[in-house]
Amino acid sequence: FLPGYTMLRSYLAAVRELPKPPRLFLIFTAVNVFSWQCIAGPAMVLFARDLNMPPAWVGLLLSFLPISMLLVVFTVPLVEWLGPRKLLLWTWLARNVLSLSVFLVPWAISRWGEAGGWQVLLFATLAFSLIRAVGVGAWYPWLHEIVPRPLLGSYLSIEAAMSQVIIIALALAMALILGLGQGLSRFFLLYAAGIGAGFWSVQLIRKIPGGERVVATDFGVSGRRPSLRQALADQEYRRFFVLAMLGTGSVMWLNAASVMYLRDMLFYSEARIMLLLAAGGIGVACTVRFWGRAADRFGSVPAMIQLLGAHALLAFCWWGLLPGGRMTGLLAVVVIVFTTIFNGAFTMVSASGMLRRVRNEGRVAYTSLWILGVSTANGLPPILAGLLIDYWGMAGFRLCFLIAGGVGLAAAGFMFTLPPEEGKPPLHELRHLIQPSQPLRSLARVFWITVGFGEKKGGG
């Protein structure tokens, strides 16, 4: 228990270094993570498949949340006109009210059959997604306002670790709940908890300082386009943005296929899947601070290259998880845990790199452009993956894993063209990390950082 106790003390010390506003935002984030996992987490996929929803429909369901975020391009004036606090308050309230419609699924099934239940679930998820998309553009500007720039890496590492602790606890609880029986009431209990937490988060918004309206702009197209053009005209930011989105897309290709593969090809129960995801969450919580530290020391881009290289190799490893294989059970634990670790670390490191490149005078436009890109990168793969899996079955799954690995390697390779961040070592020192001829050595070096020995250059 000593390593865990030491890690806890380290995180608590980092939290105490934060001013009060970021600490309050952490509490708000914690409640939102709980709500999100109950409403739109892995259990949603299991719920959809329990309703016998076809894989192509499940892919569409998964795409609603990210694709709807494309609306953020139209909400830039709203953030500036209303301020982050007021916009988040009203949209977070509305999204929870609309998500209550999920409880109509049994009625729809009794009236129109399984297809009626599918449509109600699609409507509830789409309504939740659209309203959330209107308000989420206020998230990063508010965070950028209240977190001091030197503490961004520390804050995001704490947030990632805290989120994983919540996800772990929830995954274990969900495994217990979903293992109790076969009825739909198991899933409705999770939705009730998530929506209840969502209403609580609305109350927490009122307690966070800042977030007031600071720029008065015309609520029209003329007030929107110049800001976004300014962000796109920033060459350094644009190059980082494009390659980060390519990496995000590769991660999503794997995420979109993995849960369905465990359920439909390996025939894992819902409880077993949630336990595996919990194990991955434990890995993220224990290791994400090491990747945050590596990014602070060597820059976000080197860390992203390392993580994408490891992600790509693990994506190919999913081909080895064969139905009925003697080693599949053991390999599944290793592959899922490290896949979750590297995916979580990449998300954290890329967001940190983005915030370090945001200029104060255009933070709404910069962060909105980022959300727009993340939405596209996270939204298209589930749709395409669902179609591939629906038509080709096992071959479709394997193609998804191949695309995830190939795109990840391509993104990592192109990132070598990015200039190093100020005061960071040149990127050519890390070229050996993604050499195709030395994949095991590459993974070993990434593993070295993951377990906390990346402070020396040789290890990072």
Q: Which has the closest alpha carbon to 443: 273, 315, 349, 323? A: 315
48-50-51-54 Cα dihedral, nearest 10 degrees: 60
How many CB atoms are closer than 10 A to CB 125? 25
Q: Which amino acid appears at position 182 of this protein? A: Q
* Domains of the chain (ranges, CATH numbers): 17-459 (1.20.1250.20)
Q: Are 250 and 311 in contact (CB under 8 A)?
A: yes
Q: What is the mean pLDDT of residues 155-168?
A: 84
Report the C-alpha gap between 324 and 335 in whole angstroms.
Answer: 17
Instruction: Return the residue matching tokens 């109600």.
Output: 120
Q: Which amino acid appears at position 6 of this protein? A: T
pLDDT of residue 416: 85
Give tens-digit pLDDT for 130-146: 998 888 888 888 888 88
Report the C-alpha gap between 454 and 240 in whole angstroms.
Answer: 24
Q: Which amino acid appears at position 236 of this protein? A: E
pTM of the model: 0.74
Give tens-digit pLDDT for 63-102: 888 888 778 777 777 887 888 899 999 999 999 999 999 9
Q: What is the mean pLDDT of residues 34-56?
A: 89
Instruction: Kindly list the distances between the CA atom of residue 43 and the CA atoms of 175, 227, 277, 346, in Å, as whole numbers in the listed order.
Output: 10, 38, 11, 23
- For residue 315, the surrounding DSSP H or E stretch is helix 300-317
CA triplet 415, 152, 226: central angle to 5 degrees? 70
Instruction: Return the residue matching tokens 């954290």.
Output: 348
